[in-house]
Structure 1
């Protein structure tokens, strides 16, 4: 069962934040794989990948007006917070950029889901 999608402009802020988060997480995971001591980045890489996937799924559900978007959005917020926390532990610019994108995504998702 699907709801009629709202206008794209109504969802643009959250869609932009979700898509920026996907890109930041993918970039971070790829950059972490290039690190000299990659074994220290395993947790970061894993949560980056999970976060990118849940954000991409959430964006698709929001865009199509799925009744499941709000439910999945709650999980997305949780995963983004975990990713933000993990990336914030690392001083690498790509991790800091990812943490910032995750934080912005959490804020946009909370605003949309309220």
Structure 2
């Protein structure tokens, strides 16, 4: 029987919150703002971030030890996304969600 630790449960929640934040921010805020917000590299990074967050949460939920790999990658992409969202500006909620997720995923990947 696979048992999720409290730390893993928090990481799943953090990943899902970041997935939701990146996806909704990209699809509403960024598309409406245009300019830097919709440049291909930035937009792709946001989509990649949302997807790796969702995948990491999924891997933890199904209880595969491979979550360590997805969490490591997730932390890296989240840090990159946070930095890029900060650069673009006016995206603090996304920056915060990405940083929280990166920290949580780094612990799970260790």
TM-score for both structures, normalised by structure 1: 0.85
What SS is found at the alignment partner of 1:34?
A: helix
State how many pairs are aligned: 107
Q: Unaligned 5+ residue runs, structure 1?
A: none
Which has the higher Rg, Structure 1 or Structure 2? 1
Q: How many Å separate the matches in 1 of 2:7 and 2:62?
A: 13
Contact 1:33 1:45 in 2 (8 A): no
Matching of residue 40 in structure 1 with residue 48 in structure 2:
no
Alignment RMSD, CA only?
A: 1.5
Alignment of 1:1-20 (within 5 A): 4-7=1-4, 9-20=6-17
Look up the match of 2:25.
28
Which residue of the partner structure matches residue 75 of structure 1? 73
The DSSP-based 3-state class of the residue aligned with 1:72 is helix
Deviation at 1:5, TM superposition (A): 2.6
Residue 62 of structure 2 aligns with which residue?
A: 64
